Structure formats: C-alpha cells, structure tokens
Amino acid sequence: MAAMWSNEARLRRWRDVELAALEGMVVAGIAPQQALEVCRAKAGDFTAEDAAKIDEIEKTTKHDVIAFLTFMEERIGPEARWLHYGMTSSDVLDTSLGLILRDAADLLLAGIERCQKAIETRAFEHRLTPMVGRSHGIHAEPISFGHKLAIWFDELGRAKKRLEAARATIAVGKVSGAVGTFAHLPPSVEAHACKALGLTAAPASSQILQRDRHAEYFTSLALLGSSLEKFAVEIRHLQRTEVREVEEQFTAGQKGSSAMPHKRNPILSENLSGLARLLRGYAVSAMENVPLWHERDISHSSVERMIGPDATVTCDFMLYRFAGLIEGLRVYPKQMLHNLELLGGVVHSQRLLLELARHGMDRQAAYVVVQRNAMRFYEDGTDFKTALLADQELATKMSKAEIEACFSPDYHLRHVDEIFQRVFGRTH
C-alpha cells in the first residue's frame, strides 16, 4: 500500500493519464499518430533520481504538473508538445487520484476478506461455546462466543459493500479542461482515456472531480475503522483480569511492562482503537473538502496529499493487525463458563419470568417473585436456584423439576445454527 503512494508511482500514473489522453486525441483526429508512438516509446519509467530531478524543476516552476511536463519534454523531445494538449492540471491529478484510490480499495477489500475468513474460522470453532452476554457491562443472558463473532463477520460484510460502492464512486476520471466545458478537447477524448485506464468518465465536472466522491470513500474507511475498533474494544474488555475470557496472543520473549513482569496487556487492540480515531479525522477532513469555491479552489489539495496515503495505509495496517489478532486470539471456555455461573444463575431470570406467565401468573406479579429471589444473591449471596426452590409462592406454580430446567445454557443456544445459516450460509 505504501509503495502505491511513492513519488515514482505517482509519476507513472501521470504518464499513463497523459498517454491515454493523447491516444484519445489521435483517435479523434486531433493529434498525429507519430506523436503518440514517440511519446510511448520515450516516456519510459521513473526512478528515484527522476523524481528528484522533477522536484528540482518544481523549485523554479512552483507547479508540480508543469515540472513533470518540463521533464517529459526534455526526455521525449518535440513530440511531447502533444502531451497535455487542451488539458488542465486537474485532468491529470484527479484522474490519477481516482486510479490510486481504486487500486487502494482493492487491497483493502482483500484485507477485509482475510479478516472475515479469520473470524469465520474462530466463529465455527466456538459456535456453541457458552458465555454470558452483557448489557451496560452487566451480566444479561447466555450467548455463545461464536454468535458474537458471527455479528462481527456480518458487520464486516457491510463494510465491504460500502467500500465496493465507494470504489465505484471514486474510480472516475476527467479530461474536460480548465472549467469542465471541453472547450479544447471533445468529450470523446475523455471517454477514450478513461476507458483505457479502467475508469468511468465523470458525467459532468468543473475544473475538478467533485469532492463528495472522495468524502464517500474516506467515510467508508472511517466506518470500517470504527467497526474494527468496536471489535478491539470488546477484546480489551474480555481480556481484563477480572474477566479473562479471551486474550491476545502473548509470544515467547514478549514483555508487557518495564516495571511489572506479570503484565500481559491488550496492546494490539489498544493500537486499533487509536488508529480508528485517525481514520475518523481523515473522514471529517474529506467532508470539509466538498464545498470548494466556484469551479474549484486549491484548499482541498494539501488535505488530500496528507489523508490519501495516510488513510489508506493506516486502514490497510489495521486490517492486517486485526486479522492476525483474531487468528492468534486465545479463548478460555472454562473461564467463560465460570463467569456465566458467577451470579448464581440469575442470568436465567427472564426464562423463569416467562415460565411463570405461561403457568398462569400475571406478568407483573411474576416479575416481583423472580426479582426478589434474584436480589437475594446481591444482598446476602444466596444462590438464585436455591432461593427459587425455597419460595413457597413459586412452588404453587412450578415444580422443582420445572424450576431446575430453566437453568440450562443450551436453551439460549438452540437457534445458533439458524443464525449461522443466515450469516455464513452454512451451519458446520
């Protein structure tokens, strides 16, 4: 991903845009075939030395595209006069930016797929591994760890669809001239150039492509990053000493603290949380680029030179890091079961409530019966099941066997296969 944003790669894209446009001019009968052949033959590749020379020219021109064209004229000779004919700088800059953001999206989509594969593998591994569900950070009802991971897989599927849509939105070019009117080149040149580059021609443009396209792209990255942070925060919570249901892989020789040798910290997840903040900031910057003056101003340019490489490289790294985190994640089913039973079975309170209603007790009356027995665990440590079995009012509605039957975690996992079929298209 980083290599895509190198100076040499940038110059290659500019070359490709210029040659594609020149080819369109030849087809339209504007430029001679010989000019295209000479420019193709002599345009060549770009080395770090070439990039440095163009940078040196730019110190005089104070204009990057003019510096590039000056270099190309020196390299190619007189036929280079047909390069950039009837074009403006943004024809090159915006079209080449569309190329790199399109290609960057392809790498990011591959990263999402790796993350989904890792999650799917672990989800099926723990499809029926019971654990306590939590709301407000408080024990709720039993779930399976595989169910939790299935939710993550599904969420990444939406991130993938958003990025695919953003890829289509950004894979657009323009060769429409100084204010987008095709004053010096017909639309057929733009259409030919964009097709040759694998882009779609913008239906209408000013001097630039409209920046709502770019805002959509960077916002999709920010949403993806926010989802990765959501997963990372959950791992951080589950790795807390008091919980310890999962743990980031701790490799041989790794140290957790310079002061405390016992520490095994969730540093990978914490890193993801921090990087997600950057992606959201880049999205805000991209949205602020949308309202430019008239046919354009240049306030967006400096922003995009920063957020383009930073956002794509950061997001790519986050996907790589998260995939590795999931692949190596340590899961502790015994600790999950221990925590599930930590509150003496009160996590089954709703089932008792519903069973009492099914046995003919008014819901609010049933709520009082179940709640007073559940509260005994908090107040004096009395086991929930023990309290229920000793409740004389409850005994008039349910037998001992019926009460005990309400304490099976399997009851809460009986629809896991249906959930997995919805998410993964399979149950095993």
Amino acid of residue 145: F
Taking CA atoms, 87 is separated from 9, 13, 177, 183, 357, in Å, by 21, 16, 5, 10, 76
The pairing of beta strand 200-201 with beta strand 172-173: parallel
User: How many CB atoms within 10 Å of residue 388?
Assistant: 26
Provide the token pair at 334. 């015994």
Burial pattern 288-314, b for ≥16 Cβ within 10 A else e, equals ebeebeeebeeebeebbeebbbbbbbb
SS3 content of the chain, % helix, strand, coil (to 5): 70, 5, 25
Rounded distance between C-alpha atoms, residue 16 and residue 36, angstroms: 12
E strand spans, 21-137: 130-135
Is there a catalytic annotation at residue 285? no
Q: Which residues contact 206 (CB under 8 A, 6 or more apart)?
A: 179, 180, 294, 295, 296
Assign 384 to helix, strand or coil.
helix
Instruction: Please tell me which residue in 136, 262, 294, 415 is annotated as part of the active site.
Output: 136
Q: Which residues contact 402 (CB under 8 A, 6 or more apart)?
A: 355
E strand spans, 12-162: 130-135, 138-144
Is there a catalytic annotation at residue 136? yes
Q: Which residues contact 395 (CB under 8 A, 6 or more apart)?
A: none
Instruction: Please tell me which residue in 63, 257, 302, 338 is annotated as part of the active site.
Output: 257
What amino acid positions are annotated as catalytic residues? 136, 257
